Amino acid sequence: MDALTDLDRRIAGCRACPRLVDWREEVARTKRAAFADQTYWGRPVPGFGPPDARLLIVGLAPAAHGGNRTGRMFTGDRSGDVLYQALYEVGLASQPTSVAVDDGLELYGVRVTAPVHCAPPANKPTPGERETCRSWLVRELGLLRPTLRAIVVLGAFGWQATLPALVEAGWSVPRPRPAFAHGARVALEGVGVLGGLDLFGCFHVSQRNTFTGRLTPAMLREVLGTAARAASLR
């Protein structure tokens, strides 16, 4: 078993945050009426994508009836519909939809993860839950660092969680720490033999942002395309 597969397995077995454990399992028992005939994953959702990814996309946390149901990041919900459509359109995904773990989707040089791996009530993890889960992100960054060249962070919560994780994983983050903004781009230096990478900010693909037009498909494609070029994927 390779190191990243082992990490994903250990993430899926985590029970460190009692509130999140109770919530994700309650959702998996009660279900949404539209999915009443399905067996929910109901566990922490690991990252998705190849172990030699050059680009990492960091979200917030799995959706209660999306990743918490299907067992894959941004899969089976409208946020995922927007994200994977954009990845497909910029040439980083094999298909424009992500509906189930066995749907044949492949990502090209891209991995998708989150700073919190359990679905939280009201889509709002606490700062304490974010800190508890950070060690998983640090380890994931460490395993990806031989190939990782760019990161796109979706939303301010993910940005706040990712910066300290990058420091722990060995990159040098400017001080004062850069503020989140859509379209932000920050060059990070590696420490020792660690290579540098480019960090990008993007509004989250939440329904609130996409339905109101705060984040349009064109805006998302622009950030992903720029990050892909920085990672030498295009």
**pLDDT, tens digit, for every residue of 177-192?**
999 999 999 999 876 6
- Classify residue 19 as left (phi > 0), alpha (psi -120 to 50) or beta: alpha
Burial of residue 232 (number of CB atoms within 10 Å: 0-12, 13-18, 19+): exposed
- Written as six digits, the tokens of 17 are 């945050």
pLDDT for residue 1 is more than 80: no
Mean per-residue pLDDT of the chain:
96
pLDDT for residue 234 is more than 90: no
Domains of the chain with CATH codes: 3-231 (3.40.470.10)
pLDDT for residue 195 is more than 90: no
Q: What is the dihedral of CA 32, 33, 39, 43, to 10 degrees?
A: 0
229 vs 150: CA distance, rounded Å: 9
Strand segments, DSSP code E, in 44-103 are 55-58
- Written as six digits, the tokens of 65 are 């009836």
19 vs 172: CA distance, rounded Å: 33
Write the pLDDT tens digit of every residue in 32-45.
999 999 999 999 99
pLDDT in the model for residue 189? 87
Continuous segment of H or E residues that includes residue 212: helix 207-212
Phi, then psi, of 187 in degrees rounded to 5? -85, 125
Pairing of strands 110-113, 55-58: parallel
17 vs 1: CA distance, rounded Å: 27
Note whether 53 and 110 are within 8 A (CB). Answer: yes
pLDDT in the model for residue 190? 78
Nearest to 51 by CA among 152, 169, 172, 142: 142
Write the pLDDT tens digit of every residue in 68-115.
999 999 999 999 999 999 999 999 999 999 999 999 999 999 999 999
What is the pTM for the complete model shown?
A: 0.96
pLDDT in the model for residue 44? 98
Write the pLDDT tens digit of every residue in 107-144.
999 999 999 999 999 999 999 999 999 999 999 999 99
CA 123 to chain centre: 14
Residue 141 DSSP SS3: helix
Q: Show Cβ contacts of residue 66 under 8 Å, excluding neighbours closer than 6 positions.
A: 74, 75, 76, 77, 79, 80
How much of the chain exceeds pLDDT 70, in percent? 98
Note whether 86 and 154 are within 8 A (CB). Answer: no
pLDDT for residue 62 is more than 60: yes
pLDDT for residue 231 is more than 80: yes
